[in-house]
Amino acid sequence: MRTLFVAKLILIATLLLSACVAAPTPATPTAAPGASPQPSAIAPNPSPIAATAVPVTLAASKNYPPRPTATLYATPESTPGTYTNADLGISLRYPNGWDLTPPDQGSDILTWIDSANRAVFAALFANPIQSDQTLQTAAAQIRDGTLTGLKNMKIVSDQANKLDDGRDAWTTIATGARDDGTELKLNITTAINGARAYSLLIFGAPTGYDDNSSDIGQLIGALSLTRPALYGLGRDQALVLAGGESKNPREYDPATTHGSGDKLVFSGLVSFDPKLNLVPDLAGSWDVKGGTVYTFQLRPDARFHNGKPVTTQDVIYSWERAADPKTKSDTVITYLGDIVGVKEMNAGQADHISGLKAIDDHTLQVTIDAPKPYFPLKLTYPTAFVVDRQNVESGPDWYRTPNGTGPYRLARWDSFKLMLYERNDDYYLDPPAIPYVIIQLFTGDSLRLYESGDVDMTGVGSSNVPRFEDPKEPLHTELLNGVSLCTGMILFDVKQPPFDDPKVRQAFSLAFNRSQYIDVVLHGDALPAIGPLPPGLPGFNTNLKGLPYDPARARQLLAESKYGSADKLPPIVYTDGGNGSDVGGSVAALAQMWQQNLGVTITVENVEPDKYNDLMHAGRHGQIFEGGWCADYPDPENFTDVLFHTGAQQNQTHYSNSQLDALLEQARVEQNTAQRIQLYQQAEQIIVDDAPAIFTTHSLSHVLVKPYIKGYVLTPIDIPLERYLSIDLSKMK
């Protein structure tokens, strides 16, 4: 509860009353007029109008024109005598002769309402409340904060009330005086709607208040609270999330993204369900011959969002586009490189992928270079998603109007404000239960938004975890905890001195204090990592021998290296994603440890966060840089082979070891699961001993989920979870 804010109201109140008392014709509030908080309503299919933001329109098709998209309504004409905020689900009808005055820009006040004779003023404002707060306790907290600072304060009445619409409210009437003796009479009426308490503070000199008592009663009774309609959509019709926006277009293209992709809009042949089972997606079924020839049967009812059928040619186009060297995909070899001909096309030695064959419009034959049991798992990654050629070739901004195949279509994208997704009712699988997904872009701290009921889910940072793990915390029951299949890493470029010497790499590793790092930087909220494979992943080895914290041994190895001592090392640059000269807590902790334990000083180089991954893949970094890896599929190949095999696309350390390569190549085709695991564990030990990276932590996951969101599962691998969710109206306040 923002007691500081409500305390400010009383200060404003006394200033306003001072103006009223000092002149025969009272002055209007001193708050400078600003823009009234008018909602921007969005609806599925209204008539398009001119608007600042450009509505999404899919690439036109001769046979399959774009469908109508959600567009902004014209700002509705205000109903005379009524303040309305549909986003918050609040309206207030005010008496004849009273006027609205907009609050200061950025103010927490929703609106001011002034009486006809300017003898009485009212302020409408909102405060987030805790989930276990009653109307009476919330009203009492607001009352106490508002009345702070009044002298000779007396509570005239403090009791339950009813608004005209039948909603419960609580009204307090009080009197008091300013420091200069000016008397005030105040009415504070509070009602609850969802996760907020809405309060109407009405105040004036006692005679002015009493003279306007009839209008005041009318104003209070006319406060009306309904279910919010965010952007014109019923709050119970949308899953609302907080998010950000990248300025790098490559992150929105399935072929070039370095993340998990937009699984609302796009889809591939296969996917993971919430239990991480590999399940059919665009492909209804498939069979395998000889371990190398896969035949996928596409669903005949699969359509792009504009209604165009999905065919094998669309899959071939999407994969060949990813393999085209002009696309500059940093992931195509990693996830599609097992297919015969992908490497050749990516190297510019072929025009097509020879291992792809369209048997007919719905039958695709895929030939891989060896029997690899993990191959179909790789097809869950965005690189293998299907895109519409006409859409992609419509222009460089095609990604802002994607014609995908997923469970939702992108109906509207207002940069740095929101992304609005609408359910694809023609989805080839069961359509999602929730009609819309709204991602609020850069609207504030997601945890505060969750507490105020503005978003339905949010991650919880390590510094806030203790609060929500406390059983006394009202939101404790909404917290979900889990172990993610992620490993934090500090990468060494082994081609750049001094990390071309394994003893230097080992020395830096032994000078790293994991326990201190986790306690200080991560508030104890992580597991120590000594190797690349995270707990829970097949092949995780509890007997792995790591490089423990040992400063004395670290200094000894540095002395034994070809450089001989810290003062003979070349200048060392640590590249990080950041702004200006700011040094993050993680990097600062590492630098301090290496300075203290090895006598080495590093220089931190910040690069634009949006371009960080592109620059790292391009080799434009210092000798040290932050990595980290989360499982794309539950197989140890995804960590060992993908990150450390010689020449692997994700091997940003340039590490090479022929013994390791031999083990990894043997494990690729080993059909016996136990023997495969053993090979990967041997490979992991070699990686740890050679120290091309410092393995720092295995992260933990913490998520708050509203009780009315049903079907949520905290999965260690990103999946298209939204299509499995639903909203329980009976649990929505």
In the chain, what percentage of residues exceed pLDDT 90? 76
Examine residue 200 and state whether it is found in any structural domain, yes or no. yes
Q: Output the CA angle 146-149-150, nearest 5 degrees.
A: 90
Lowest pLDDT segment from 298-307, 448-457, 467-476, 683-692? 448-457
State residue 540's pLDDT score.
97
Q: Is 71 helix (H, G, I), strand (E, B) or coil?
A: strand
Residues contacting 669, CB < 8 A, separation 6+: 370, 371, 372
Q: Is residue 246 part of a domain?
A: no
Q: How far apart are the first and last CA of the chain?
A: 19
Tell me the CATH number at 685.
3.10.105.10
CA distance 91 to 222: 8
Encoded tokens for 599: 């006598």
Q: What is the mean pLDDT of residues 232-243?
A: 90
Which of 173, 205, 226 represents a domain boundary (last residue)?
226
> Residue 23 — pLDDT band, cuts 50, 70, 90?
very low
Residue 31, pLDDT above cutoff 50: no
193/539: higher pLDDT: 539
Residue 44: pLDDT above 80? no
Contact, 710 vs 728, CB < 8 A?
A: yes
The domain that contains 181 carries what CATH number?
Answer: 3.40.1000.10
pLDDT reported for residue 230: 81
Q: Which two tokens stand for residue 63?
A: 């046979």
d(CA 45, CA 431): 19
Tokens encoding 676 = 């495969």
3-state SS, residue 436: strand
Greater pLDDT, 88 or 392:
392
Identify whether 517 is part of a domain: yes
Residue 479 covered by a domain: no
Tens of pLDDT, residue by residue over 365-380, are 999 999 999 999 999 9
How many C-beta neighbours within 10 Å does residue 654 have?
17
What mean pLDDT is predicted for residues 384-388? 98
* Average pLDDT, rounded, for the chain: 88
Q: What is the pLDDT of residue 65?
A: 63
- H/E run at residue 12: helix 3-22
Contact 386, 291 (CB under 8 A): no
Average the pLDDT over each of 220-234, 369-383, 633-647 and give the range with the smallest value: 220-234
- With bands split at pLDDT 50, 70 and 90, how would you rate the model's confidence at 107? confident
Whether 355 is in a domain gets the answer no
Confidence at 8, pLDDT banded by 50, 70, 90: very low
Report pLDDT for 133.
Answer: 83
Q: Say if 318 falls within a structural domain.
A: no
The answer to whether residue 341 sits within a structural domain is no
Cβ atoms < 10 Å from Cβ of 6: 24
**Domain count across the chain:** 2
Neighbours of 293 (CB within 10 A): 16
Domain that holds residue 93: 3-40+75-226
Closest of 530, 703, 533 to residue 631, by C-alpha: 533
Residue 612 has pLDDT above 50, yes or no: yes
Which whole number is the average pLDDT over 217-224?
94
Domain end marker among 197, 226, 255: 226
Q: What is the pLDDT of residues 190-208, one digit of tens each?
A: 999 877 899 999 999 999 9
CB contact at 8 A, 681 and 544: yes
Structure-token pair, residue 17: 């009353």
* Residues 83-105 pLDDT 10s: 998 888 899 999 999 999 988 87
Tokens representing residue 511 in the block: 């000078």
Give the model's pLDDT for residue 77: 57
Q: Is the pLDDT of residue 5 over 80?
A: no
Using pLDDT thresholds of 50, 70 and 90, give the confidence band for residue 20. very low
More confident residue, 585 or 470: 470
What is the percent of the chain with per-residue pLDDT over 70, rounded to a whole number? 89
What span, in angstroms and rounded, lies between the C-alpha atoms of 321 and 304? 18
Residue 593 lies in a domain: yes
Q: Is the pLDDT of residue 443 over 80?
A: no
Q: What is the pLDDT averaged over residues 126-139?
A: 86
- More confident site: 721 or 42: 721
So what's the pLDDT on residue 597?
Answer: 98
Last-in-domain residue among 182, 204, 226: 226
Q: How far apart are CA 8 and CA 10, in angstroms?
A: 5
Q: Between 487 and 28, where is the model more confident?
A: 487
State pLDDT tens for residues 327-363: 999 999 999 999 999 999 999 999 999 999 999 999 9
Cα gap 382→261, rounded to integer Å: 6
CB 218 within 8 A of CB 95: yes
Q: Which two tokens stand for residue 39?
A: 């909602």
> Is pLDDT of 49 > 50?
no
Q: What is the pLDDT of residue 12?
A: 44
